[in-house]
Amino acid sequence: MYRDTVRYRSVALGVVAGLISFACGTPSATEPTEPTVRTERPAPVVGVPGDAAIADARAVPPPGMYADLAGVLVEIIPADARVIGLGELHNRVDRAAVRSALAVFTAALPSIGDRLSDLIVETWIVDPNCGKTAVAATQKMETEVKRPEATKSEIALLAEAAKAAKVQPHAMKLSCADYKTLVPNGEVDALAMLTLTTRELKRIAISAVVHRDKDPAHRPWIAVYGGALHNDRFPDKAIAEWSYAAAVDKVSKDRYVEIDLIVPELAAADSVSRKQPWYSLVETAGDWVQVWKRGDRSFVVILAKTR
């Protein structure tokens, strides 16, 4: 459901827990070059303002910036894309109460809805057949990752927006044994959470590609929405096993695109984000959304500040 950004497999579980809000991937600044790996210093594709409703309707975005996320998605997603892996820095109850990336994406969905066939969301519906074990494990996970109660409603709204656009929504499916793996002794196993999440997002995405490819009239794009770790095109070797990107890129014949959506107020309070090469754009965030191109088919979108 929700996971963490673990930078090295050998880190202590306490550090993993501190990174849990970032179960979504990530990358700094100025030269107009186009790197092939995220560790280089690509120039920002420059900003994108958060959402049209946030910006003054009469305002004109500065050169290279956009009025809303909808315009950004239309601009940066290649026409020949097959799977779009969207990652976010999650909202938490111990962070600023700001508009979530999830809510911003839901508002932008109609701009690409007619090109999407499927939307896979990093969440699950508790299986009633798994009884109290599943309920208790899910509650423990929600407490551990400090997710606001409003997140559940926002996920439901995203599913409704997908259905309105005739896009098929999907959620992860966990077995009864999976719930026990996630919370083996009353405590959340962060590594197991990362592994199960990766397994499910990869499974559903590959299945969707294979299924849709049998229909010559299918819509061209499939979207996966979750944390910015699992969608990582250029992961460090130590965390590569928790990214579905390579497997999905292969089945989609090199047509996978990674996009991370970053709420600046959340990034400013996140130690992992502050070390990223794109963080300078967080420091200058304001009314407009900014886009950082970290590599081939890989983007970081800094949303507008909440007002």
Token pair of 135 as six digits: 């309920």
Are the C-beta atoms of residues 25 and 5 closer than 8 Å to each other? yes
pLDDT tens for each residue of 44-100: 444 444 455 444 444 787 877 889 999 999 999 999 999 999 999 877 776 778 899
pLDDT reported for residue 33: 30
Confidence bin at 307 (pLDDT 50/70/90): low
CA distance 36 to 277: 15
Closest CA to 4 of 129, 135, 147, 108: 147
- Provide, rounded to the nearest whole percent, the portion of the chain with pLDDT above 70: 78
Where do the structural domains in the chain lie, given as residue ranges? 13-302
Using the predicted structure, report yes or no on whether residue 152 has a pLDDT greater than 90.
no
pLDDT reported for residue 19: 40
Length of the chain: 307
pLDDT tens for each residue of 228-268: 999 999 998 999 999 999 999 999 999 999 999 999 999 99
**Contacts for 147 with CB less than 8 Å, ≥ 6 apart:** 2, 90, 91, 92, 93
Using the predicted structure, report yes or no on whether residue 20 has a pLDDT greater than 60.
no
Task: Determine the angle formed by the axes of helices 69-76 and 101-108, rounding to 10 degrees.
Answer: 70
Of residues 222 and 147, more confidently modeled: 222
Helices (H) and strands (E) in the chain, counts: 10, 7
The type of residue at 11 is V
Are the C-beta atoms of residues 284 and 268 closer than 8 Å to each other? no
Using the predicted structure, report yes or no on whether residue 210 has a pLDDT greater than 50.
yes
- At residue 240's C-alpha, the angle toward residues 138 and 231, to 5°, is 65
Q: How much is the pTM? A: 0.81
Rg of the chain taking only CA atoms, in angstroms: 18
pLDDT reported for residue 13: 35
Whole-number average pLDDT of the chain: 82
Go through 270-298 and write b for each residue having 16 or more CB atoms within 10 A of its CB, e for each that does not: bebbeebbbbebbeebbbbbbbbbbbebb
**Contacts for 188 with CB less than 8 Å, ≥ 6 apart:** 140, 141, 144, 182
Beta bridge partners of 170: 120
Classify 29 as helix, strand or coil.
Answer: coil
Burial class (CB in 10 A: 0-12, 13-18, 19+), 200: buried
> Residue range 106-130: average pLDDT?
94
Beta pairing, strands 298-302 & 116-124: unpaired
> Residue range 286-291: average pLDDT?
93
- Provide, rounded to the nearest whole percent, the portion of the chain with pLDDT above 90: 59
